Amino acid sequence: MHYHIRLFLSLTQISLVMLILFTIICGVFYPGFVTIVLKTFAPSKAEGSFVENDGKIIGSSLIGQHFSDPKYFWGRPPQNNEKPYDFKEAQASHLSPKNSKLKDLIQKNIDHLMSFESDKNKKIPLDLVTSSGSDLDPHISPQSAFFQVDRIASTRHLAKDKVEKLVNDHIEHKIWGFLGEKHVNVLALNLALDTLKS
C-alpha cells in the first residue's frame, strides 16, 4: 500500500517538474528567442507587417480589408458581413460543399459580382465568390485581380492596359519558387491604384 502511495507521489512530482520545465521552455524561452530573431532580421514582420499611408497605419499586409466600392479591387467575400475582416469575429463557415446554404451563398456572391460586369459570360475565379478558411485572407489570385480590371478601368476612366500592368507588377510569386501559389495583396494593389491618373 505504502509502495503505491510513494509511486504515485513520485510520478506526480515528476509530472509537475516536467510541466513547469516545459512551460518555461515553450512559454518563455522559445517565444522570446523567436521574437528576438524576428526583430533582428525582420522587424516589420515582428511588429505585425503594418501598412502605412501618408504616415498613418491603415492596416496590415497579413489581414484583409473589406472593399465594396466598384472603383477598387475586391478581396474574397467575408463570412461575417456585419463585421467583415474583423479578426475578433472571424470564423470559417464549416459548410459542406453539398450544403444548400453554401450554394445559395455562392450564388448570391456571383449575382453581386456580375451585377457590375458588362460581359455576363466571363468565367469567375472561385476565390472571388468563396470565403477563405480564416476569413481574413488578404490575397486573391492573379486571375481574380485580372477579372476585375474591366470594372475598375471603366469606373476610374483608366486605360485597361494600365490597370493590367498594375496587377502584373503586384503579383507575388511562390515562396522559394515552389511553396504556395501566385497571389496579389488586395490592400497593396488598391493603394497603388489610387496613385494612377486617368
Average pLDDT, the chain: 87
Q: Are the beta carbons of 167 and 196 closer than 8 angstroms?
A: no
Residues 39 and 56 in one domain: no
Greater confidence (147 vs 91) lies with: 147
For residue 198, tell me if it sits in a domain.
no
**What percent of the chain has a predicted confidence (pLDDT) above 90?**
48
**Which residue(s) pair with 184 in the sheet?**
140, 171
pLDDT recorded at residue 198: 62
For residue 143, tell me if it sits in a domain.
yes
pLDDT recorded at residue 107: 93
71 vs 68: CA distance, rounded Å: 9
61 vs 47: CA distance, rounded Å: 12
Residues 20 and 83 in one domain: no
| Full DSSP string of 134-174 | SS---EE-HHHHHHTHHHHHHHHT--HHHHHHHHHHTEEPP
| Residue pLDDT, tens place only, 43-95 | 776 676 778 777 788 778 788 888 999 999 999 998 776 677 776 666 666 77
- In this prediction, residues 154-180 reach a mean pLDDT of 91
Sign of the alpha-carbon dihedral angle for 141, 143, 148, 153:
positive
Cell numbers placing 15 = 509530472
Residues 38 and 66 in one domain: no
pLDDT recorded at residue 72: 96
Residues 158 and 61 in one domain: yes
Residue 166: pLDDT above 80? yes
Residue 158: pLDDT above 90? yes
Residues 28 and 113 in one domain: no
For residue 69, tell me if it sits in a domain.
yes
Q: Are the beta carbons of 93 and 131 closer than 8 angstroms?
A: yes
Total count of domains within the chain: 2
Residues 6 and 70 in one domain: no
pLDDT recorded at residue 20: 95
For residue 188, tell me if it sits in a domain.
yes
Residues 101 and 33 in one domain: no
pLDDT recorded at residue 1: 60
Residue 21's pLDDT band (cuts 50, 70, 90): very high
Residues 10 and 74 in one domain: no
Residues 15 and 101 in one domain: no
Distance of CA 108 to the CA centre of its chain: 22
Q: Which of 82-86, 119-123, 177-181 has the lowest mean pLDDT?
A: 82-86
For residue 109, tell me if it sits in a domain.
yes
107 vs 67: CA distance, rounded Å: 19
What residues contact residue 152 under an 8 Å CB cut-off, 6+ apart?
A: 70, 71, 72, 73, 158, 163, 193
166 vs 98: CA distance, rounded Å: 38
Residues 139 and 110 in one domain: yes
Residues 64 and 124 in one domain: yes
Q: Are the beta carbons of 170 and 192 closer than 8 angstroms?
A: yes
Residues 145 and 180 in one domain: yes
For residue 23, tell me if it sits in a domain.
yes
Residue 117: pLDDT above 80? yes
Q: Which of 52-61, 165-174, 177-186 has the lowest mean pLDDT?
A: 52-61
Domain that holds residue 18: 2-44
194 vs 198: CA distance, rounded Å: 10
pLDDT recorded at residue 101: 86
For residue 62, tell me if it sits in a domain.
yes
* Beta strands at 56-60 and 171-172: parallel, antiparallel or unpaired: unpaired
- In this prediction, residues 111-135 reach a mean pLDDT of 89
Q: Which of 107-111, 174-178, 183-187 has the lowest mean pLDDT?
A: 174-178
